[in-house]
């Protein structure tokens, strides 16, 4: 009998060890972002031991990563019914409620879980932090507060608390604090590839000029753990549009270390597109869509759209991009996808209005100022290409609000595009910014002079009084006059305007003659300037009319011209 009891005890212990290993294996799959494998493993673990809280919690987290929010909610609800108010399950349910935009309910569950454990259990505080980082409606500051509380628990040694803390700082756009948190995680576990990888992700947000740094951190992560698939994926996407052979190599390693899903297969077909075989990419995508049906990855429509665009088939490109956005999950959408959709839409008159909304979405997705400026510039260039100068001007002007550190060229292009788009008030405002920031640079004054001149002409025609561009014209002449050869054509315009203004508006013929002489000195063969000077000189030489008599003079007004 004693032998039987010993055998039964040993069997139970072995069963518990095996079960613990299965949960740990599921968590390991989760760490490597092999979510399908994690789901399968944790479902088996939970089926074997329905009351296990860890299995239920991590299965719910896995379903969240697979965008099955309803499935996660069901797992947590079922477990809570069986176990009562278990703190970890409460946090899991709160995570779901954040994703369902039920912030108050979620916060109540978090606080209840923390209260039940007296704020002394690291795994509970860590789970609260993770939930608030992961959900768009989550409170990153609250997450940091609770994660810091976890680090104060006696015998604290959990590196993933610092991983989640770093993610929370990233959510707050505090890159420096995020890097420090990830470094703290490495101090607890020097082989934690995720921490090294996420340090690299911080530098990605600073623009492509930091490529040398973030690529180094990705490679360092793989040196720590050659099975860490997320780093392979980011290296693949970086090289995708730069070196297709390198991209193909990193993708092969990614594929070998992740679950082979329809999404991964779609990426493989995308490499056919990247290699320049556009028709082949379309054929492979169509074959997969026909075979997989609704289970196929929406990425296949994106591949087809880009390939059709390269082949000049805008209609099929548009239709496939529309299918991609309607069938795909938002996690698949990249800023470049919205830019591409905007450019394709602009080729159809009835779709042109939606182009702006797609450019807006691209800008909203990216937090890097230089990238956002690049998207706005792409919008401006697109509208300029189809000769919609007013819309092009709108986007170049918008750049000044996206990047408040704008320089001369930003102001120059925005000002002149508004000028060509006949948006003279905005153009003048932009050139005023130029003059304020660069008071010794002639471009602001020249732009202001030309813009006011055109606006003045429009105002006179409509009977609306305006501000004459005399001050800007004179300041431009003062600066540009030091190199009259280089700026000859621009000076001729300014002298011509001032000559006409003094002759026709002010009736100050001597001043008009002065500016006409300036024109003649620059261009001795200018017949119009000579003739107008002779007319004005004769007017000065003949006897002046008596007081009250009409004073008629010849018109010498120079007409404004487009630049």
Please provide the average confidence, as pLDDT, over all residues in the chain: 90
Instruction: State the pTM of this model.
Output: 0.76
pLDDT value, residue 84: 86
| pLDDT value of residue 264 | 93
The half-sphere exposure of 306 on its side-chain side, counting CA atoms within 13 A, is 23
Q: DSSP letters along 494-529, please?
A: HHHHHHHIIIIIS--HHHHHHHHHHHHHH-TT-HHH
pLDDT of residue 378: 93
Q: pLDDT at residue 14 above 50? A: no
Higher-confidence residue of 370 and 311: namely 311
Count of CA atoms in the C-beta half-sphere (13 A) of 289: 18
Q: What pLDDT score does 541 carry?
A: 84
pLDDT at 546: 59
* Helix (H/G/I), strand (E/B), else coil: 410: helix
Produce one character per residue of 314-334: b if its CB has 16 or more CB atoms within 10 Å, e if not.
Answer: beebbbbbbbbbeebeeebbe
Please give the average per-residue pLDDT across 89-111, as a whole number.
Answer: 97
Cα 237-202-368 angle, rounded to 5 deg: 75
Residues 6+ apart with CB under 8 A from 135: 95, 98, 99
pLDDT score recorded for residue 493: 95
Instruction: Write down the pLDDT at residue 302.
Output: 97
> How far is Cα of residue 54 from the mean position of the Cα atoms in its chain?
37
pLDDT of 550 higher than 70? no
Q: How many residues does the structure list for the chain?
A: 563
The DSSP symbol for 208 reads: G
Residue 455 confidence (pLDDT) above 50: yes
Return all residues near 303 (Cβ < 8 A) that are at least 6 apart: 266, 269, 270, 272, 273, 281, 282, 285
Contacts 24+ apart (CB under 8 A), 199-203: 200/231, 200/234, 201/170, 201/234, 202/170, 202/175, 202/178
In this predicted structure, what is the pLDDT of residue 278?
97
Share of the chain above pLDDT 90, in %: 82
Specify the DSSP element, H or E, that contains 299: helix 299-310
Judged by DSSP in three states, 226 sits in coil
Check whether 559 has a pLDDT greater than 60. Answer: no
Report the Cα 133 to chain-centroid distance in Å: 20
Report the chain's terminal Cα–Cα distance, integer Å: 105
Look at 553 and 537; give whichever has higher pLDDT. Answer: 537
Across the range 332-346, mean pLDDT stands at: 93
DSSP 562: -
d(CA 396, CA 427): 11
Copy the structure tokens of residue 37: 């494998």
Q: How far apart are CA 75 and CA 98, in angstroms?
A: 16
CB 556 within 8 A of CB 504: yes
Residue for token digits 């290699």?
A: 275
Residue from 75, 80, 77 nearest 63 by CA: 75
Angle at 504 between CA 499 and CA 507, to 5 degrees: 90
pLDDT at 13 over 80: no
Across the range 265-284, mean pLDDT stands at 95
Tokens of 401: 């609000």
Structure tokens at 176: 């420096």
What is the per-residue pLDDT across 410-450, written as a single tens digit (0 to 9) for each? 999 999 999 999 999 999 999 999 999 999 999 999 999 99
Residue 245: its pLDDT value, please? 95
Using the predicted structure, report yes or no on whether residue 44 has a pLDDT greater than 90.
yes
Residue 405 is encoded by which pair of tokens? 């550190």
CA 76 to chain centroid, in Å, comes to 35
**Residue 2 pLDDT > 70:** no
Whether the per-residue pLDDT at 225 is higher than 70: the answer is yes
Per DSSP, 100 falls in state: T
From 176-190, 334-348, 353-367, 543-557, the region with the lowest mean pLDDT: 543-557
pLDDT tens for 458-513 read 544 444 445 579 999 999 999 999 999 999 999 999 999 999 999 998 999 999 99
With contact defined as beta carbons under 8 Å apart, do 494 and 473 qualify?
yes
pLDDT in tens, 341-398: 999 999 998 998 899 999 999 999 887 788 899 999 999 999 999 999 999 999 999 9
542: left (phi over 0), alpha (psi -120 to 50) or beta: beta
Q: Is the confidence at residue 122, as pLDDT, over 70?
A: yes
Residue 231, pLDDT > 90, answer yes
Ordered by start, the domain boundaries in the chain are 484-563
- CB-based contact 480:487 (threshold 8 Å): yes
Of 498, 548, 496, residue with least CA distance to 523: 496
């Amino acid at each position: 009998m004693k032998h039987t009891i010993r055998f039964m005890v040993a069997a139970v212990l072995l069963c518990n060890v095996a079960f613990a290993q299965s949960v740990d294996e599921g968590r390991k799959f989760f760490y490597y972002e092999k979510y399908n494998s994690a789901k399968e493993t944790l479902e088996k673990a939970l089926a074997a031991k329905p009351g296990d809280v860890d299995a239920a919690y991590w299965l719910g987290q896995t379903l969240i990563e697979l965008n099955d929010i309803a499935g996660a909610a069901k797992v947590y609800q079922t477990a809570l019914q069986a176990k009562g108010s278990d703190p970890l399950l409460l946090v899991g349910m709160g995570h779901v409620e954040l994703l369902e935009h039920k912030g108050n309910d979620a916060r109540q569950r978090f606080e209840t879980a923390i209260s039940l454990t007296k704020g002394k259990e690291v795994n509970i505080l860590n789970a609260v932090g993770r939930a608030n980082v992961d959900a768009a409606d989550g409170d990153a500051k609250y997450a940091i507060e609770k994660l810091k509380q976890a680090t104060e628990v006696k015998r604290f040694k959990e590196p993933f608390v610092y991983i989640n803390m770093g993610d929370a700082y990233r959510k707050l756009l505090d890159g420096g604090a995020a890097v420090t948190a990830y470094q703290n995680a490495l101090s607890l576990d020097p082989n934690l590839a995720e921490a090294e990888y996420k340090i690299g992700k911080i530098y990605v947000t600073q623009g492509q000029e930091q490529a040398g740094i973030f690529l180094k951190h990705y490679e360092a992560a793989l040196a720590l753990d050659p099975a860490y698939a997320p780093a392979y994926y980011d290296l693949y996407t970086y090289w995708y549009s730069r070196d297709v052979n390198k991209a193909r190599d990193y993708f092969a390693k990614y594929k070998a270390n992740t679950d082979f899903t329809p999404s991964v297969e779609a990426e493989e077909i995308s490499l056919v597109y990247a290699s320049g075989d556009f028709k082949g990419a379309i054929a492979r995508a169509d074959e997969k869509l026909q075979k997989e049906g609704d289970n196929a990855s929406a990425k296949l429509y994106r591949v087809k759209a880009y390939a059709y665009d390269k082949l000049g088939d805008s209609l099929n490109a548009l239709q496939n991009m529309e299918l991609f956005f309607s069938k795909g999950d938002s996690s698949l959408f990249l800023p470049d996808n919205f830019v591409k959709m905007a450019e394709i839409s602009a080729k159809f008159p009835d779709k042109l209005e939606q182009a702006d909304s797609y450019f807006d979405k691209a800008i909203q997705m990216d937090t890097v100022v230089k990238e956002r400026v690049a998207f706005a510039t792409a919008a401006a260039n697109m509208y300029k290409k189809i000769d919609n100068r007013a819309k092009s001007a709108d986007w170049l002007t918008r750049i000044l609000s996206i990047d408040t550190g704008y320089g001369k060229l930003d102001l120059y292009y925005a000002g002149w595009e508004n000028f060509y788009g006949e948006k003279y008030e905005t153009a003048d405002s932009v050139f005023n910014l130029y003059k304020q920031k660069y008071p010794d640079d002639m471009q602001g004054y020249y732009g202001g002079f030309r813009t006011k001149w055109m606006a003045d002409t429009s105002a006179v025609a409509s009977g609306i009084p305006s501000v004459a561009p005399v001050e800007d014209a004179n300041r431009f002449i003062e600066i540009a006059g030091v190199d009259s050869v280089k700026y000859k054509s621009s000076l001729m315009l300014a002298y011509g305007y001032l000559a006409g203004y003094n002759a026709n508006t002010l009736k100050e013929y001597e001043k008009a003659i002065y500016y006409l002489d300036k024109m003649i000195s620059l261009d001795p063969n200018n017949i119009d300037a000579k003739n107008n000077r002779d007319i004005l000189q004769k007017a000065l030489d003949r006897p002046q009319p008596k007081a009250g008599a009409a004073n008629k003079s010849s018109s010498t007004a120079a007409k404004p011209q487009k630049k």
